[in-house]
Amino acid sequence: MEAKQWTVQIYITEEGDETLARAVLNTRDTSAVTGRGTARRNPVDRRIPEIGDELAASRALEDLAIRLHDVASDDIVQLAGPVER
């Protein structure tokens, strides 16, 4: 059995009260798949950057999962061929 390793890198930037995250999946078999997420701090809340990082990263990973599912679905449609009756 062959072991495979997929790598996800998460890039986080902050712009004022907004935190942006980009999650990039790299595999040997597919081109990179990217998910994006944001978090916005309410101006009345305390400034705790880790919370914005966590929220934005989780949203980027959720978006990545949806995009990866779409890639798999497209592959199934292309490779399955027509249904014989």
Give DSSP secondary structure letters for 38-55. EEE--TTS---HHHHHHH
Determine the pLDDT at residue 62.
98
Which pLDDT belongs to residue 80?
Answer: 84
* Mean pLDDT across 39-65: 93
Write the CB contacts of 24 (distance below 8 Å, at least 6 apart in sequence): 8, 9, 10, 11, 32, 33, 34
pLDDT for the residue numbered 58: 98
For residue 13, what pLDDT band results from cuts at 50, 70 and 90?
A: very high
pLDDT, position 33: 95
